[in-house]
Structure 1
Amino acid sequence: MIIKSAEFVCSNTRIDKLPPPTIPEYAFIGRSNVGKSSLINALTQHKGLAKTSQTPGKTQLINHFLVNKEWFLVDLPGYGYAKTSKTNRSEWEKFIKKYLFNRENLQCVFVLIDSRLTPQKNDLDFCCLLGEKGIPFILIFTKADKQSKIKSEHNIELFRKALLTWFEEVPPHILTSSETRNGCDEVLGLIDEVNQRFTV
């Protein structure tokens, strides 16, 4: 897939204010500071599209971006650590779940996981939540450039094994780097395939 355009559409916490569900939509989510905004910028080849920050928990809204005027890329708030109150975090969780469970044109959730880490409970819990609700998802392991491929593959295998205690089959995974754009074409290729089959 060649990215010809990528533009910000809206930010909000209200499901009823989202764009009409007439084109395919793909959500990106992960632990705070997993490198989500950097990966979105690398995918779209648009350096300032998603706001990056050294502060975990920066994304606090559902952000919609229109790509190639054909599909939505959705940047969701990170789960896990964030410098905010428990009340705020609880509110985020409510609207994220409401979005994930009710958005009719949502085709797939890309769950971002830091490839440098061994399996983390909140990543596993989130994958299990998607599995329980029958929401299709793909594992995107980030920050491949930060360590050797052998170390990344070791952590990926540990994560897959951990998921197999809940799942009969583990969803596909892609190892990515926002610095080198490693894996970006693979992610876009998957989106392109699903787009071809999308009907309103």
Structure 2
Amino acid sequence: MEIKQAEFIISAAYKTQFPADAKVEIAFVGRSNVGKSSIINTLTNRRKLVKTSGTPGKTRLVNFFMINNEFYFVDLPGYGYAKVSKSQLENWATTIENYLIGRRQLKKVILLVDSRHKPSKDDITMYEWIKHFGYECMVVATKSDKITKNEKFKNEKIIRETLQMDKDEKLYFFSSLNRSGKEEILDNLF
């Protein structure tokens, strides 16, 4: 699949603000510092489509991006960021939940985990939640340029076991720095 067009549509906090059309949506979820903005920018070949920051936790709303005038990428707020108030964390959780529950247009959720670390309790909860509600889940391990080939094999096993992934589920390794994994992810979006 080739992405030829990508544009920001809206940042929304409430369901009433979400696009009302029936176009397919693919959501990106993960910890605040896992690289959601970077993967969307890399997949769309746009360096600044999604704002990136050195400070985790900047995405606070549900951001919709129209892709090829056919479907949406949806960037959700990150979870697990400790340097914000408890009420802010609760607001983010509510925003994510409001989007994910009952969204008919949502066809796939891309769960991003850090390839260097064992998935967190929040990652496990999100994975289980995605499966429980019947969404198709694609697990992508980001920042793969920061690990060796041997670490990649070892960490793949750890990620699979921690999330209790089925044997037939694919785990994708991705790096926004060297763009490895980009084509494989794009080819398997649908």
The answer for unaligned runs of 5 or more in structure 2 is none
Unaligned segments of structure 1, at least 5 residues: 195-200
Query: Is 2:117–2:155's contact at 8 Å kept on the other side of the alignment?
Result: yes
Cα shift at 1:170: 6.4
**54-63 vs 148-157, which deviates more?**
148-157
After TM superposition, the structure 1 = structure 2 runs for residues 115-126 of structure 1, keeping only pairs within 5 Å, are 115-126=115-126
C-alpha contact 2:118 2:162 (8 A) present in aligned 1: no
Q: Which runs of 4+ in 1 moved over 6 A?
A: none
Q: Partner letter of residue 173 of structure 1?
A: L
Aligned to 2:49: 49
- The one of 169, 174, 178 equivalent to 2:176 is 178
> Equivalents in 2 of 1:170, 1:90: separation in Å?
34
Q: CA-to-partner distance for each residue in 1:112-141, whole Å, 9 max, x for gaps?
A: 000011232211121111122222211000
Q: Which residue does the alignment assign to 1:103?
A: 103
CA deviations on 1:20-42 (whole Å, 9 max, x unpaired) are 24111100011111111111111
Distance 1:169 1:128 in 2: 16
TM-score normalised by structure 2 residue count: 0.94
In structure 2, give the amino acid aligned to 1:180.
N
Residue 19 of structure 2 aligns with which residue?
19
**Structure 1 CA distance for aligned equivalents of residues 147 and 49 of structure 2:** 26
Alignment of 1:137-156 (within 5 A): 137-156=137-156
- The whole-number CA distance in structure 2 between the counterparts of 1:54 and 1:67 is 26
Provide the secondary structure at the position in 2 that maps to 1:102. Answer: coil
Q: What residue identity is the alignment partner of 1:84?
A: V
Cα gap change, 1:82 to 1:74, in 2 (>3 Å): farther
Q: Quick one: structure 1 residues 129 and 169, their matched pair in 2 at CA, closer, same or farther if it must change by over 3 Å?
A: farther
TM-score, normalisation: structure 1: 0.90
Q: What is the one-letter code of the residue matched to 2:177? A: E
Deviation of 1:149 after TM superposition, in Å, equals 2.2
Percent identity over the alignment is 42
CA contact (8 A) 2:5 2:68 kept: yes
SS of residue paired to 1:11: strand
Deviation at 1:152, TM superposition (A): 2.2
How is 1:130-169 mapped onto 2 (pairs within 5 angstroms)? 130-164=130-164
